[in-house]
Structure 1
Amino acid sequence: MSGPSYDPVPLSTDHTDDVPYNRPLSPETRHSAYQSPETQPLEPHDDLPPGAARPRFLGAALNDDGPNPRSSYASSSNSFPIADDYSSSVYALNADRAPGSRDPTFYSLNYRDDPHDGDFNDSQPGVSKMSPAMQSSPYLSEKRNTYAAPRDRSRRKLFIIGGAILGLLLVIAVVVGVYFGVVKPKSAKSSDNASGALGDEHTSAKPSGTSAPTPGVRAAVTGGDGSKVTTEDGTTFTYQNSFGGYWYWDSEDPFNNGARAQSFTPALNETFRYGIDQIRGVNLGGWLNTEPFITPALYEKYANSSNPAVDEWTLSENMAADGGLQQLEDHYKTFITEKDFAEIAAAGLNWVRIPIPYWAVETWDGEPFLAKTCWTYFLKAIQWARKYGIRINLDLHAVPGSQNGWNHSGRLGTINLLNGPMGLANAQRSLDYIRIISEFISQPQYKDVVAMFGITNEPQAPTFGQENLIRYYLEGYNLVRAASGIGEGNGPMISFHEGFTGLSKWSGTFVNSDRTSLDVHPYLCFSNQSPDPYSARANTPCSAWAAGQNNSIGNFGLTTAGEFSNAINDCGLYVNGVNLGTRYEGTYTPGNWPRVGSCQQWTDYQTWDDDMKQDIMNFALASMDALQHYFFWTWKIGNSSVTGKVEAPAWSYQLGLQEGWMPKDPRQAIGKCGGKNPVGALKPWQTGGAGAGQLDADFTSSYAWPPTSISQGGAATLLPSYTPTGTVRTLAAPTFTKSAGGGVDAGQGWVNTADTAKGMVPIATCSYLDPWVGPSAAPPAPLCSGGTARRDNTPTPIITSPPSLA
């Protein structure tokens, strides 16, 4: 369809012909595909300066000549060709309208990412139009009756006594009603919910304040806007949520799912209708899986040491030699707290994506990470999310050996998942962790809160091939569904990152799979740099992303943007990595980038005027509308220990709210791309309905696990592998004790009692390389022998006792 024109992002014009979609590039071009460090995954990166860390992000620039290969393909000599329909799309999701139309009601009358959202007030974006009847308070008649004048003075005393008794009974009835109204799980199907004034209203008890204990009745603790919240450590704050959300926390009933983030979001004990209810989320990046640019103070301390901290591996080594790893737990305690979850719900957001690393489960000898501690804080995140009605997308962000070689994968360097001599063994171990996590989060105590599971973040398919990635995903899918079962409500939605292959490459895969979704991370900031202001980029997200997102929802199913940001250039402390510089200022290495200007104007947010803040907000709203279901990266950027302020402001949702460039109501994004209704409800099997789990036999046989060969490793039978003879580690549950004595059933960490398979461990007579050895190393020879001792220094890991299957 036709649509408005947009200013393209400047790109290099260094190509050999003018044929769209078919432009051979050369290493000399300044396209980010050749100059960005995130595009050289196959090399050991000895060319990087000390302390240099590749950025976590991939993002191709826009080009009005058509799509180019994503930057990750640049250094891959064995990648398959693609045509990326996603990151370089020039098709906007726009409806036809009268030329020059500026009718402010156009968007609200046409485009709806939530078909139940109400009409918006023309003069007050985000505020619903209401009929006089709707504007009338439903409590007014009750108030009038309560304060009606007495009819007879002689009967006044009798009325007073009777009123007191009636009032006491009313209080008891309200308390009991609230308690049982929110306790009852799945009390109201979403299809029965009424449409409210501010959008999709889901019926449930809606307390406006904290309920007071009544003698003889155990009151449920809950509250809405203006209520006082008492945290675990006894501190208090006032809950401010103007969207009709309310919190719920009862220490006697800690697994109650009665809370609601907003009136337009289903409560946790109601069904979230994927494809209808919109995912408006934010990441909690840098918390349980640290990253230099998100938590710079942790890294600045060791940035210039003899062993610079460039990733959590080297950070852990530095901390261990300087006071101990408990410094990381101090970070876990303070960086994200309960109040953040309250603020997220109050910001109109209903999901959080929480990255966790594999060392939340365990570490093996030689791995310096702080083992298992971050899991304790993920359990706190579950409790806080439950309290404020927020759903969690748990993202396995780092796996053994690294899935992409970037600093956020735990260790900067090479790709060793499905790549190189340890590629198979690392994948086996990673799948074990997927299984262990699935067994925990599929328990009835957790499944309604941890509602989505991203089984591996940003794997580099251009390095090891989409075929083997599908094999890995299919095995992960089978493990998750073995834990949870098939059908709606039985465990999490499974999220697959598209692996930098392009969304269209996944069309036709996982057909009839039970509750699978596709994840993509669109960024605009790591390509050629431009001095253009935000005002020139206002519609870029619409032209770049809207059509690709809609096509993927129609062809694959639910498609989310697991990460995106407001950044339009690579300015910001450590955004590209520790001591790596920026393209914008011409200091980025490796490569030879011309200086565009100073980054100060893009990082010194305290000097931004109202016009610039509004331009950034317009960019953010366009991004939200184009992506439809999204998780902004990230909620919070920590202060620099040197300057005392945030040095990457375009990446902080929280700071944007405080300073005025993020919307107070994310529903203001509706219609920013000018389109009509996007793709509606998903197919039944995509949400656990009819046909779910009935995958095609040819598909499952074609992508059976394990792979027959491994990229840069050769035949799988000639590579090190683990054996399923070890005891499976289970994840710990929180402990709750009722005031009357006795504990609360928090689960045993293992939901599927029929799953008694063993865990992966090394074979005593086989030889292994370091999991991060790199793809150029030769496999051990001989690989295994009955009389051959292991030739590395990796002992058999210590495994915990088996799960209770009673």
Structure 2
Amino acid sequence: MLYSLGYIALLFISSACGWMPEEHRSMTNKTGFNLFDTATDHNSTDKRWLPGSGKIRGVNLGSLFVIEPWINSDEWSSMGCGEQHSEFDCVIHLGQMQANAVFQSHWGSWITQADIAQMQSYGLNTIRIPVGYWMLESLVYADSENFPQGGFSYLEQVCGWASDAGFYIIIDMHGAPGAQVSQNADTGQWASTPGFYVSWQYNRATQFLSWLTQNIHSNNNFRNVGMIGIVNEPVQIADTTATMRQTYYPNAFNAIRAAESAAGVSANNYLHIQAMNQNWGSGDPNQYLTDLYFAAYDDHRYLKWANVEVSQASYISTSCTDTDAGGNTPTVVGEFSLSVPDDVQWTAAWDPSTQQAFYKQWFAAQVMTYERTAIGWVFWTWKTQLGDYRWSYQDAVTAGVIPVNPEDVYSYGAC
């Protein structure tokens, strides 16, 4: 979840990777099978395919396995976490046993099978699941790290529901060892400084990715997991992330491929490996990569923190023409929302209770652009306790701002 980003538009340049957006933006595996195409007979060995739409249209399961207290503050308080900044802090506050109990209750109720069914009824085809490295509990330093335990079985459950419903699944390492950014609950800890950018933390992260890959390829509940994000929103300072690009990225790719090779996975069934694209500001993710087969990229587009004129007309125009800057391909816009700058968000011109027509047009402008310039989009997030549909796909559909069928945005004339 982003808290500061200068606005940079999208342009996708060619690179050698396992699947590319073609004329109709199809996604093909190594054998040429269109992973989105239900009109073609589906080979059961070619898993991780999408029904229906030829574009990724999805939602994040925010605050499920990496709780961000601002999203669900009522539940955070009821869990006994109160004023705690992050999961790490709450586990210290409650003690391990009590924390395990309250977090397991949260995991079992925040996203249910009924939620998955509702997402499906809304024409969505993809979910992105933020997770932390501590889900592999053997990686956690018992003497200095504090995280809730038992999350993996709930991840298995939600992926099973989503696979049964035909969803494409992206699992993203949102919380990296040592924290990839400081003072942000979306890393799972309120770290004073980002401690991820050292070799031993990279090694722990690659261990997590290898373990996750093994589980994805051996457990039927994970059969529709097609993409792993190897680190969410690293710091936007190219010098700081130099070792990440030079060491961690190649090692992460190698660890995932080695786990697949050891499991006897054929190349057509590899996972797509996703890094933040060059637009993000952490440098070129491909700089030290030698094999881009089934590589993919993530970009997060929040005008809320962008350097653009804050007006409704500007937001519509900017989103409609978001095509101008360099990047990597294929990119999924893995996060965006309908939120606007804090200092204006409750003023009359931006009030969600009276400005539904604008937010409806702005949503349409964004997703049409992300389907034109990228291979699709994943809204942040599915549900919140904010009472504000600008961050909640579920609430925005109820409010009539997001259509039940995403295809309807093409009839709105937003752009």
Does the CA contact (< 8 Å) of 1:525 and 1:569 recur in 2? yes
Q: Does 1:560 align with 2:314?
A: no
- Cα deviation for residue 671 of structure 1 reads 8.9
Q: Does 1:315 align with 2:58?
A: no
Quick one: structure 1 residues 349 and 281, their matched pair in 2 at CA, closer, same or farther if it must change by over 3 Å? same
Q: Does 1:618 align with 2:354?
A: no
The structure 2 residue matched to 1:634, chosen from 377, 381, 395, is 381
Superposed counterparts of 1:391-402, under 5 Å = 391-402=168-179
Residues 228-265 of structure 1: per-residue CA shift (max 9 Å, x gap): xxxxxxxxxxxxxxxxxxxxxxxxxxx99999975x24
* Alignment partners' CA distance in 2, 1:445 and 1:294: 31
The structure 2 residue matched to 1:329, chosen from 104, 125, 128, is 104
What secondary structure does 1:505 align onto? coil
- Cα deviation for residue 451 of structure 1 reads 0.7
The structure 1 residue matched to 2:195, chosen from 407, 416, 419, is 416
- Cα deviation for residue 301 of structure 1 reads 5.7
* Alignment partners' CA distance in 2, 1:260 and 1:304: 39
- Cα deviation for residue 674 of structure 1 reads 9.2
Q: Does 1:474 align with 2:250?
A: yes
Q: 1:196 maps to what in 2?
A: none
* Alignment partners' CA distance in 1, 2:319 and 2:240: 30
The structure 1 residue matched to 2:216, chosen from 441, 448, 460, is 441
- Cα deviation for residue 446 of structure 1 reads 5.5
The structure 1 residue matched to 2:113, chosen from 338, 342, 352, is 338
Q: 1:99 maps to what in 2?
A: none
Quick one: structure 1 residues 501 and 631, their matched pair in 2 at CA, closer, same or farther if it must change by over 3 Å? closer
- Cα deviation for residue 447 of structure 1 reads 6.1
- Cα deviation for residue 403 of structure 1 reads 1.0
Q: 1:599 maps to what in 2?
A: 346
- Cα deviation for residue 327 of structure 1 reads 1.2
- Cα deviation for residue 115 of structure 1 reads 6.3
Does the CA contact (< 8 Å) of 2:163 and 2:221 recur in 1? no
Does the CA contact (< 8 Å) of 1:257 and 1:386 recur in 2? no
| Root mean square deviation, CA, Å | 3.8
Give the number of equivalent residue pairs: 389
- Cα deviation for residue 561 of structure 1 reads 1.1
Does the CA contact (< 8 Å) of 1:487 and 1:514 recur in 2? no
Does the CA contact (< 8 Å) of 1:402 and 1:409 recur in 2? yes
Does the CA contact (< 8 Å) of 1:455 and 1:494 recur in 2? yes
Q: Does 1:498 align with 2:277?
A: yes
Q: 1:34 maps to what in 2?
A: none
Q: 1:489 maps to what in 2?
A: 268
Quick one: structure 1 residues 314 and 451, their matched pair in 2 at CA, closer, same or farther if it must change by over 3 Å? same
Residues 489-529 of structure 1: per-residue CA shift (max 9 Å, x gap): 33311101237654983466646422001111121112579
Quick one: structure 1 residues 364 and 328, their matched pair in 2 at CA, closer, same or farther if it must change by over 3 Å? same
What secondary structure does 2:403 align onto? coil
Quick one: structure 1 residues 321 and 476, their matched pair in 2 at CA, closer, same or farther if it must change by over 3 Å? closer
Q: Residue 636 of structure 1 aligns to which amino acid in structure 2?
A: K
* Alignment partners' CA distance in 2, 1:402 and 1:558: 27
Greater RCO, 1 or 2 (C-alpha within 8 Å, sep 6+): 2
Residues 465-495 of structure 1: per-residue CA shift (max 9 Å, x gap): 3353242111000011111148643331110
Does the CA contact (< 8 Å) of 1:657 and 1:663 recur in 2? yes
What secondary structure does 2:5 align onto? coil
- Cα deviation for residue 441 of structure 1 reads 1.1
Q: Residue 340 of structure 1 aligns to which amino acid in structure 2?
A: D
Q: 1:660 maps to what in 2?
A: 400
- Cα deviation for residue 635 of structure 1 reads 0.8
Superposed counterparts of 1:390-789, under 5 Å = 390-405=167-182, 406-412=184-190, 413-418=192-197, 423-443=198-218, 445=220, 448-460=223-235, 462=237, 464-485=240-261, 488-498=267-277, 501-502=280-281, 505-506=284-285, 510=289, 512-527=291-306, 532=311, 534-543=312-321, 545-548=322-325, 552=327, 556-570=328-342, 584=343, 599=346, 605=352, 607-608=353-354, 612-628=355-371, 629-637=376-384, 639=385, 646-670=386-410
- Cα deviation for residue 57 of structure 1 reads 3.0
Q: Residue 269 of structure 2 aligns to which amino acid in structure 1?
A: N
* Alignment partners' CA distance in 2, 1:338 and 1:668: 26
Q: Residue 131 of structure 2 aligns to which amino acid in structure 1?
A: I
Q: 2:71 maps to what in 1?
A: 294
**Gaps spanning 5+ residues in structure 1: where?**
1-54, 62-86, 92-111, 117-185, 194-199, 206-254, 266-276, 571-583, 585-596, 640-645, 676-806
- Segment of structure 1 superposing worse, 330-339 or 296-305: 296-305
Quick one: structure 1 residues 428 and 402, their matched pair in 2 at CA, closer, same or farther if it must change by over 3 Å? same
* Alignment partners' CA distance in 2, 1:617 and 1:674: 9
* Alignment partners' CA distance in 2, 1:447 and 1:383: 6
Residues 325-373 of structure 1: per-residue CA shift (max 9 Å, x gap): 31111111111001111111221111100011112111321322112x1
Quick one: structure 1 residues 326 and 192, their matched pair in 2 at CA, closer, same or farther if it must change by over 3 Å? closer
Q: 1:57 maps to what in 2?
A: 3
* Alignment partners' CA distance in 2, 1:512 and 1:354: 26
Does the CA contact (< 8 Å) of 2:122 and 2:405 recur in 1? yes
Percent identity over the alignment is: 22
Q: Residue 299 of structure 2 aligns to which amino acid in structure 1?
A: V
Quick one: structure 1 residues 623 and 416, their matched pair in 2 at CA, closer, same or farther if it must change by over 3 Å? same
* Alignment partners' CA distance in 2, 1:630 and 1:258: 21
The structure 1 residue matched to 2:159, chosen from 379, 382, 397, is 382
Quick one: structure 1 residues 601 and 329, their matched pair in 2 at CA, closer, same or farther if it must change by over 3 Å? farther
Does the CA contact (< 8 Å) of 2:87 and 2:148 recur in 1? no
Q: Residue 203 of structure 2 aligns to which amino acid in structure 1?
A: Q
* Alignment partners' CA distance in 1, 2:158 and 2:310: 40
* Alignment partners' CA distance in 2, 1:650 and 1:414: 30
Does the CA contact (< 8 Å) of 1:519 and 1:562 recur in 2? yes
Superposed counterparts of 1:56-95, under 5 Å = 56-61=2-7, 87-88=8-9
* Alignment partners' CA distance in 1, 2:202 and 2:56: 30
Does the CA contact (< 8 Å) of 1:460 and 1:499 recur in 2? no
* Alignment partners' CA distance in 1, 2:221 and 2:81: 43
Q: 2:39 maps to what in 1?
A: 202
Q: Residue 345 of structure 1 aligns to which amino acid in structure 2?
A: Q
For normalisation by structure 1, the TM-score amounts to: 0.44
Superposed counterparts of 1:131-280, under 5 Å = 190=33, 202=39, 262=51, 264-265=52-53, 277-280=54-57
**Gaps spanning 5+ residues in structure 2: where?**
12-21
- Cα deviation for residue 321 of structure 1 reads 8.9
Q: Residue 390 of structure 2 aligns to which amino acid in structure 1?
A: A
Q: Residue 408 of structure 1 aligns to which amino acid in structure 2?
A: D
Does the CA contact (< 8 Å) of 1:403 and 1:417 recur in 2? yes
* Alignment partners' CA distance in 2, 1:415 and 1:536: 35
Does the CA contact (< 8 Å) of 1:257 and 1:389 recur in 2? no
* Alignment partners' CA distance in 2, 1:258 and 1:427: 29
- Cα deviation for residue 408 of structure 1 reads 0.9
- Segment of structure 1 superposing worse, 294-303 or 343-352: 294-303
What secondary structure does 1:521 align onto? strand
Does the CA contact (< 8 Å) of 1:435 and 1:480 recur in 2? yes
* Alignment partners' CA distance in 2, 1:299 and 1:342: 25
Q: 1:94 maps to what in 2?
A: none
Does the CA contact (< 8 Å) of 1:393 and 1:453 recur in 2? yes
